A and B are shown apart, each in its own frame.
Chain A
Amino acid sequence: MRTTPVEPPPFFHRGPSPLTRLTFFGLLSIALMFADTRFGYLEGIRTAVAVVLYPLQRAVQVPGEAVAYVAGYFASKSDLEAENASLQASLTAQAPAAQGYPMIVDENKRLKALLDVQARYPGRATAVGVLYTGRDPFTQKLFIDKGGDSGIKPGEAVIDEAGVVGQVTRVFPHMAEVTLVTDKDHAVPVKVERNGVRSVLYGAGAGRSPELRFMPPSADLQPGDRLLTSGLDGTYPAGLAVARVATVDRDTGQIFARITCAPMAGVDRSEHLLVIGQATALPTRPSEPVEADTAKKGSRRSRRGG
């Protein structure tokens, strides 16, 4: 025997048996899971524990950041020169667009005034860094280093330099959780840049490509088409790049075409992101026709009565 069991004989009281305790805590877990998924009662507790854990999460990042800092300090001169040259080149390449931009903005403003369109972008954008990626293999999430104290709110869109990364789903005081466009429960209303066809891009989970579902096999889509946000949901501002159509499988035996897409943004790579303030509130949905509704209810009640 390696150890001497230092347990007292069974007639000393040791509390409930392990099986009793397992049953109790198991049922408690199931109750918690139910409360979490169905009602969201536990966000307060989650926030409290997250605040306590935050210093620890920052602490374990210090070694990695220190190594990156030291490595960056000793970056070779040739690396910096190469980077400088490429930045200069891209700056020159963007110069015409940048110089023409004020004119376009001005033109756009006048056109919008003509069309009486409300400004879609509220103008607030917060640059954030990625703290770490979520470790839950069932969901696609990441955490950013700013939260409620920087004015970030749930539902705001998160983008990187190439396109949409995801959406803020939970906000803690100093950090926020972003659900990525590749998450299984995430959907983005999109339109095809080439022809304006509207659809919804659904995430499919880790390692699987997002899909456009419920599109007929005859839909005008080609591999390589760029998908932009349509802005119809009031969450994502219109016109942000989301994904590129990768494959279109038109099996006429099926009701819908199978269309997989590749996200434009570095969903699993980008370290610097931008949180875009919520698009202006959409007008409230018109209420359902009242008369038809009451008539139906009335008929049902009378049927039940009779």
Chain B
Amino acid sequence: MMIARAIPRFVPAGPDEILRPARPWFIVVTLFFGLLLNLVPMTGLALTFKPDFLALVLLYWCIQEPRYVGVGAAWTTGLVMDVADATLFGQHAIAYAVLAYAAEYFRRRVLRFPLWQQAVQVAALLVVCAALVVLVRAVGGAPVPRWTYFVPPLVGALLWPPLTVLLQWPQRPSRSPER
């Protein structure tokens, strides 16, 4: 009974719940897992639907913990992704930096909405970032990709509610030992 009370249920935090600040190592570990998920080799249809997990995790922390994760951290993470994907140096970096800036700008508004409405706003952010990458590459002479290029951002937005629940779980207040 005590244990059942101590561990919060796996649902979104209520509007009156005050989350504890995230531990820096937890942020680093989750970003690392995002990178690992991005590195998983995929082909064909799975690749068409594969969202950018790292961008999602980054966006979550930019919104929740802007003191630790901001434009600079996002940019550095983007450079790592550029090497991993063998893309143009700076392509992911600029996209992630813009994403982090947008998150910092909109975070107070985004946090006021229930999760599924947050997901709609996240979809808009991710699509704008994807469009920015297309623009940057088009300037460099790359062909404009097919419309399926914009499927992964939408899949990413669908993953936003479960990801939020997962990442905020360790910060839920009822987990604290003094309760």
- Residues of A in contact with B (beta carbons under 8 Å apart): 1-4, 6-7, 18-19, 21-22, 25-26, 28-33, 35-37, 42, 45-46, 49-50, 53, 56-57, 59-61, 64, 131-139, 141, 143, 170, 177, 184, 204-207, 268
Contact = CB atoms under 8 A, between A and B. Distances in A.
Most buried by A among B19, B78, B101, B105: B101
Nearest to B66: A7
A177 B86 CA distance: 8
Nearest to B18: A4
Interface string B53-92: 0000000000010110011100100111001111111110
B146 A138 contact: no
Contacts of A206: 145-146
A268 B45 CA distance: 12
Contacts of A56: 35-36, 39
Contacts, number: 141
Contacts of A205: 143, 145
Interface residues of B, number: 54
B140 interface: yes
A7 B17 CA distance: 18
B41 A133 contact: yes
Given A4-B18, A30-B94, A59-B36, A37 B140 contact: yes
B36 A35 contact: no
A36 B88 contact: yes
A29 B40 CA distance: 26
11 contacts: A18-B101, A22-B97, A22-B98, A22-B100, A26-B98, A30-B90, A33-B90, A46-B83, A49-B79, A205-B145, A268-B44
Nearest to B108: A5
B136 A184 contact: no
